[in-house]
């Protein structure tokens, strides 16, 4: 076993050590090589070393360099080396971390990680929590607790009797709610479309004044950090209004909840602690490896009521926290171990520095691109920048050229009817030098495109250049 694991570690280390020397997006030749995987199911055993060699040889070059320092797509953090190392060790432990009595080490680590998260994010210390796969499932988990409570208050036991014949629940969301939150509502039987949508402003913030009159079992879903602009709903104000009529307030804070940790950003999430439940990601701003999300619920009993099960064969009785009492899954890996490692390493100051640094880099991107004459479509309050290069066709063409250039990777979006490139700075690994290198590439590619549009002959030459550069990088 030792040579196999040591060789694999060597492959992984070499991958990470050289990640910034390659194109961020995989090149065309690397993608073509993926067809080597399309072989028949092997009839018999083949050597382990050969399997890993194949994985590295074919898989590594065809991967997107998300672990590198110049990937700015979606909202994707890298992996802190300490969190990656913890993940390796915990994977070697192979703990099915459902119950404390069976897997005490991982259950205890998750208990500590949860306590630290609540302290760091300044959420109520008594809250229950669940380590799950990501914000989508964290939203689902927290909203299951919300559904439990608002129906229990109306005299209905939703876990026992389901939603057939239950009192209707009013669900309120902002017009800019993330689609994964809406999906969670669908999974819970609350409907993706049967929601009351509240209008938003130019940054995507719910207008608190447009909140409808609330009555009966009600869940209000707010957002800390819009996936495009980084903007925050006025959560404190909404919570106060909603609580007056006994409604439940949930916060989707996939990445924005981390503003709580950063002294210069904390004003954005003001009042977030007034809500009843929160969802966030570990794999975004805390930079632990995929996949990792966390749900927090102020009333831990409500979360347990929505999630816990018992069975004759399960040793559930313990004075400690059984992880699976709070999660949709029974069998599960202990995602909290990597969260523990990241927090144990960074401490409060380290997490604050990580968040502040990403925000500073985002600000530099927006200032430099604005100075270069491109439109910045959002108020850059956090780590998200929306830049437009003109009309849809031009913006899309330039984004594709930037991706093909390979220096960095940014995705596309549409913001309130305008096409844009999204820059999300979410990785511990990104340095000021990476930002300058990426800015040079973005402006070079955008200018070349503009010149080529004026002179089609140059368009052909610039396309040639792109192909050559992507070949080189593959
Ligand atoms: C605000 C918000 N909510 C939810 C999600 C979904 O998170 P995940 O993909 O980790 O499930 C995202 C992802 O970017 C997000 O930005």
Q: pLDDT (tens digit, 9 = 90+) per residue, 375-387?
A: 999 999 999 999 9
pLDDT digits (tens, 9 = 90+) for 396-449: 999 999 999 999 999 999 999 999 999 999 999 999 999 999 999 999 999 999
Residue 138 · residue 295 · CB < 8 Å = yes
pTM attached to this predicted model: 0.95
Query: What integer pLDDT is reported at residue 316 of this predicted model?
Result: 87
Number of Cβ within 10 Å of residue 92's Cβ equals: 9
Query: What integer pLDDT is reported at residue 454 of this predicted model?
Result: 87
Query: What integer pLDDT is reported at residue 295 of this predicted model?
Result: 99
- 101 Cα–ligand 1 center, Å: 33
Report how far residue 304's alpha carbon sits from residue 300's, in angstroms, rounded to the nearest whole number: 6
Report how far residue 306's alpha carbon sits from residue 327's, in angstroms, rounded to the nearest whole number: 9
Q: State which of 140, 185, 227, 295 you would mutate to test the pocket of ligand 1, scoring each by most atoms of that ligand within 8 A of its C-beta.
A: 227
Query: What integer pLDDT is reported at residue 459 of this predicted model?
Result: 55
Residue 296 · residue 110 · CB < 8 Å = no
- 458 Cα–ligand 1 center, Å: 40
Report how far residue 391's alpha carbon sits from residue 105's, in angstroms, rounded to the nearest whole number: 55
- 253 Cα–ligand 1 center, Å: 8
Atom of ligand 1 nearest to the CA of 139: 4
- 7 Cα–ligand 1 center, Å: 35
- 226 Cα–ligand 1 center, Å: 9
Atom of ligand 1 nearest to the CA of 255: 16
281 lines ligand 1 (CB under 6 A): yes
335 lines ligand 1 (CB under 6 A): no
Atom of ligand 1 nearest to the CA of 256: 1
Report how far residue 422's alpha carbon sits from residue 362's, in angstroms, rounded to the nearest whole number: 11
Residues 365, 368, 372, 376: what is their CA dihedral angle, to the nearest 10 degrees? 50
Atom of ligand 1 nearest to the CA of 281: 10
Q: What is the DSSP string of 271-291?
A: TGGGSSEEEEESSSTT-PPSS
Residue 99 · residue 314 · CB < 8 Å = yes
- 136 Cα–ligand 1 center, Å: 6
286 lines ligand 1 (CB under 6 A): no
Report how far residue 108's alpha carbon sits from residue 340's, in angstroms, rounded to the nearest whole number: 10
Query: What integer pLDDT is reported at residue 266 of this predicted model?
Result: 98
Digitized pLDDT (tens) for each residue of the chain, 474 residues in all: 999 999 999 999 999 999 999 999 999 999 999 999 999 999 999 999 999 999 999 999 999 999 999 999 999 999 999 999 999 999 999 999 999 999 999 999 999 999 999 999 999 999 999 999 999 999 999 999 999 999 999 999 999 999 999 999 999 999 999 999 999 999 999 999 999 999 999 999 999 999 999 999 999 999 999 999 999 999 999 999 999 999 999 999 999 999 999 999 999 999 999 999 999 999 999 999 999 999 999 999 999 999 999 888 888 889 999 999 999 999 999 999 999 999 999 999 999 999 999 999 999 999 999 999 999 999 999 999 999 999 999 999 999 999 999 999 999 999 999 999 999 999 999 999 999 999 999 999 999 999 999 887 655 555 554 434 433 333
List of residues 6+ apart from 386 with CB closer than 8 A? 228, 229, 376, 377, 378, 413, 415, 420, 421, 422, 423
- 318 Cα–ligand 1 center, Å: 34
């Amino acid at each position: 076993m030792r040579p196999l694991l040591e060789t694999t570690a060597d492959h992984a280390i070499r991958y990470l050590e050289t990640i910034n020397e390659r194109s961020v997006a995989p090149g065309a030749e690397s993608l073509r090589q993926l067809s080597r995987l399309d072989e028949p199911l092997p009839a018999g055993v083949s050597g382990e070393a050969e399997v890993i060699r194949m994985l590295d040889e074919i898989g590594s070059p065809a991967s997107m360099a998300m672990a590198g320092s110049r990937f700015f797509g979606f909202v994707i953090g890298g992996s802190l080396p300490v969190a990656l190392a913890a993940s390796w060790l915990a994977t070697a432990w192979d703990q099915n971390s459902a119950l404390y009595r069976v897997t005490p080490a991982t259950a205890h680590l998750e208990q500590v990680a949860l306590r630290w998260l609540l302290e760091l994010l300044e959420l109520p210390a008594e809250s229950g929590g669940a380590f799950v796969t990501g914000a989508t499932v964290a939203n689902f988990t927290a909203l299951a607790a919300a559904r439990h409570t608002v129906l229990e208050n109306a005299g209905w036991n939703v876990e026992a009797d389901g939603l057939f014949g239950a009192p209707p629940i009013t669900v309120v969301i902002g017009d800019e709610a993330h689609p994964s939150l809406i999906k969670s509502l669908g999974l819970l039987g609350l409907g993706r479309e049967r929601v009351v949508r509240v209008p938003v402003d130019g940054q995507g913030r719910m207008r608190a004044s447009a909140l409808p009159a609330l009555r009966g079992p009600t869940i209000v879903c707010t957002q800390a950090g819009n996936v495009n602009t980084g903007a925050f709903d006025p959560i404190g104000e909404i919570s106060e209004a909603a609580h007056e009529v006994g409604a439940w307030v949930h916060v989707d804070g996939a990445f924005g909840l981390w503003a709580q940790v950063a002294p210069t950003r904390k004003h954005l999430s003001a009042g977030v602690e007034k809500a009843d439940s929160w969802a966030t990601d570990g794999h975004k701003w805390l930079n632990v490896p995929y996949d990792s999300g966390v749900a927090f619920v102020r009333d831990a009993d409500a979360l347990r009521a929505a999630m816990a099960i018992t069975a004759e064969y399960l040793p559930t009785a313990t004075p400690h926290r059984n992880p699976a009492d709070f999660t949709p899954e029974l069998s599960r890996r202990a995602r909290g171990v990597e969260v523990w490692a990241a927090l144990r390493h960074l401490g409060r100051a380290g997490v604050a520095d990580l968040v502040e640094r990403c925000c500073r880099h985002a600000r530099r991107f927006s200032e430099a691109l604005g100075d270069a004459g491109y439109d910045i479509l959002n108020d850059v309050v956090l780590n998200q920048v929306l830049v437009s290069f003109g009309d849809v066709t031009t913006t899309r063409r330039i984004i594709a050229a930037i991706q093909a250039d390979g220096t960095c990777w940014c995705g596309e979006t549409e913001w309130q009817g305008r096409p844009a490139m999204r820059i999300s700075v979410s990785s511990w690994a990104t340095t000021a030098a990476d930002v300058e290198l990426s800015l040079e590439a973005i402006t070079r590619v955008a200018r070349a495109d503009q010149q080529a549009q004026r002179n089609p002959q140059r368009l052909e030459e610039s396309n040639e250049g792109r192909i050559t550069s992507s070949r080189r990088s593959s």
